[in-house]
Amino acid sequence: MSAPHLFARLSLALLLGGSLSAQDGAAEAERYAYVRMVTSLGDLVLELDQEQAPITSENFLAYVNEGFYDGTIFHRVISEFMAQGGGYLPGIEVKPPTRSPIRNESDNGLSNEAGTLAMARTGNPHSATSQFFINLVSNPNLDHPGGENWGYAVFGKVIDGFDTVLAIKQARVELDPRADRTQPASPLTPIVIQSATQVGPETCRAAISEARRVEATPPLDEDFQDEVRAAAADQSDEVAALLTVLGHDPEAITYSGTGLGSIVVREGSGGQPTRADTVTAHYTGWLLNGKPFDSSRARGEAMDFPLNRVIPAWTEGVSEMKVGERRILIAPPNLAYGPRGASGVIPPNSTLIFDVELLAFEKAKDYSDMNAGKALLVEKGVAISSGQTTASGLFYVDEVVGDGQLPLRTDRVTTHYAGFLTDGTQFDSSIERGTPATFPVSGVIAGWTEALLSMPVGTTRWVVIPWNLAYGAAGRAPMIPPKAALVFEMRLLEIK
């Protein structure tokens, strides 16, 4: 069975059937390449777009055909974001790439939609090598923004094995700074890529046919709406019954590509927030048995919250509303609290119904100002008059200059550190945890790599890193806002 909510448009094709003509098959062989990836959670069939992403597809296939991915892991899984792999072995041991970095092809017109493949990279836009990721939800914020900025290059998609992707998405994870320093992302049980093999289109004809039919289906036509409803049939009767009790017509539901359902109860006439903004809203939430589990209206107090720090259904649904609008949101489990539920209040795998009224919103704070980062250093007693700015824009001040050796890009180092937003908010600290972090010099954000390469062992350095050398235009939810300059205290303890 496919994963209907996670890949609503992809799984639509599974309900249609049919096959490709011989002429179509010849075109497929010329434009696309195919890879069968066997993982410890099941198989995937990947389709690479050699026409729109020729450099990236060639690079990925080279790694496949040399057997590089065999035995590597998906080391970083964030259920409402993406699953990243191709650069580590079990135990989160780095597997160094064997090929040079490639040019970023994020300007190729392909979007980071759910189920697509894209290349992972550092803050340097042209630094991708072997690591890739599968978008577990649609991430348009990772697309090429235009101009001199860069996104994350999409080069293909999953066309079969959606159950496997769902299993990866639902994997239990823990905090391990080698995988992600800001949130739990390291699978408790390693997800191993047992093999990756290039295959001919004749071996996956049915999946190719289904993919083409999905592409030919307009995302908002009535057939699509019907099929998404069918894909959610396991709870649709309960959804319809509760909506009827609440006075809403189930036939009025429209579904987005992620599977989020909505009914506009009252149009709004005010502004529309972005996913980075903080909104003020009244809401009531129900389980499908009709039991309300939370209500700002019952408390008599509207709630304020950043849209990028709530469940995905709210991030998506409320960001499409205008001030004054009232909307019903039907949140499938993967856009709500998933297989774990929440705090004994939300059972596992629950579809939730929300009645949301958007009252106001506040634009997201600008965290990109490097001068604000320098001001924070002054507040912390750092003498910035002795600081230096590098050609990339990174600013640093050495409080202690060590007398050890300089690390190389290929080294692994042990450090203590504390990280701050420019407003002083601390988002991570190995110093407070009392446990130093060890990682490859080339395996961190570009600003860290640059700073480390000029730090002798024993150095304590304060840095203000421009957003484009940190987590970029996307940020790293929930802790790092988009386009955030970051401030770090860095202590280089040892070269491994």
Q: For residues 259 and 188, what is the distance between their CA atoms, to the nearest angstrom?
A: 28
Question: pLDDT at position 478, please?
Answer: 62
User: What would the DSSP string read from start to end of 202-225?
Assistant: GGGHHHHHHHHHHHTS-TTSHHHH
- Please state the pTM of the whole predicted model: 0.46
Question: pLDDT at position 441, please?
Answer: 87
CA distances from 297 to 138, 289, 294, 365 (A): 31, 20, 9, 28
Catalytic annotation, residues: 283, 293-294, 311, 337, 354
407 bridge partner residues: none
Q: What class has domain 8-215?
A: mainly beta
Question: pLDDT at position 42, please?
Answer: 86
CATH of domain 370-495: 3.10.50.40
- Eight-class DSSP state of 99: S
Phi, psi of 168 (to 5 degrees): -65, -45
Could you read off the pLDDT tens digit of each residue along the chain, which spans 496 residues?
233 222 322 222 222 223 334 444 445 557 899 999 999 988 899 999 999 999 999 999 999 999 999 999 999 999 889 999 999 999 899 999 999 999 999 999 999 988 899 999 988 899 999 999 999 888 888 988 877 778 999 999 998 887 788 889 888 888 888 898 888 899 998 999 999 999 888 777 777 776 665 565 444 344 444 444 444 456 788 899 999 999 999 999 998 877 889 999 999 999 999 887 889 999 999 999 999 988 999 889 998 888 877 888 898 999 999 999 999 999 988 788 877 677 678 888 889 999 999 999 988 788 899 999 999 999 999 999 999 999 999 999 999 999 999 999 889 999 999 999 999 999 889 998 898 988 888 878 889 999 999 999 999 999 999 998 888 876 776 678 878 999 999 999 999 8
Is 483 within 8 Å of 467 (Cβ atoms)? yes
Question: pLDDT at position 480, please?
Answer: 83
Q: For residues 423 and 46, what is the distance between their CA atoms, to the nearest angstrom?
A: 43
Q: For residues 153 and 140, what is the distance between their CA atoms, to the nearest angstrom?
A: 12
Is 287 within 8 Å of 293 (Cβ atoms)? yes
Under 8 Å CB-to-CB from 439, ≥6 apart: which residues?
177, 178, 412, 413, 415
How many CB atoms sit inside 10 A of residue 434's CB? Answer: 8
* Amino acid found at 253: I
Question: pLDDT at position 310, please?
Answer: 81
Of 284, 359, 291, the residue nearest 329 (C-alpha): 284
Give the pLDDT confidence of 66-115 residue by residue, as tens digits: 999 999 999 999 988 999 999 999 989 999 999 999 999 999 999 998 88
Question: pLDDT at position 199, please?
Answer: 87
Q: Is 244 exposed, middle or buried (0-12, 13-18, 19+ CB in 10 A)?
A: exposed
Is 365 within 8 Å of 382 (Cβ atoms)? no
Under 8 Å CB-to-CB from 128, ≥6 apart: which residues?
56, 59, 101, 102, 104, 119, 120, 121, 153
Structure tokens at 443: 């395996």
How many CB atoms sit inside 10 A of residue 18's CB? Answer: 10
Q: What residues does each domain of the chain span?
A: 8-215, 232-362, 370-495
Give the pLDDT confidence of 362-391 residue by residue, as tens digits: 887 888 999 999 999 999 999 999 999 999
Q: For residues 74 and 90, what is the distance between their CA atoms, to the nearest angstrom?
A: 9
Q: What CATH topology corresponds to 232-362? A: Chitinase A; domain 3 (3.10.50)
Please give the helix or strand (H or E) that residue 229 lies within, else none.
helix 222-231
Question: pLDDT at position 46, please?
Answer: 94
CA distances from 334 to 6, 7, 317, 345 (A): 7, 11, 14, 17
Same fold, 232-362 and 370-495: yes
Q: For residues 137 and 407, what is the distance between their CA atoms, to the nearest angstrom?
A: 38
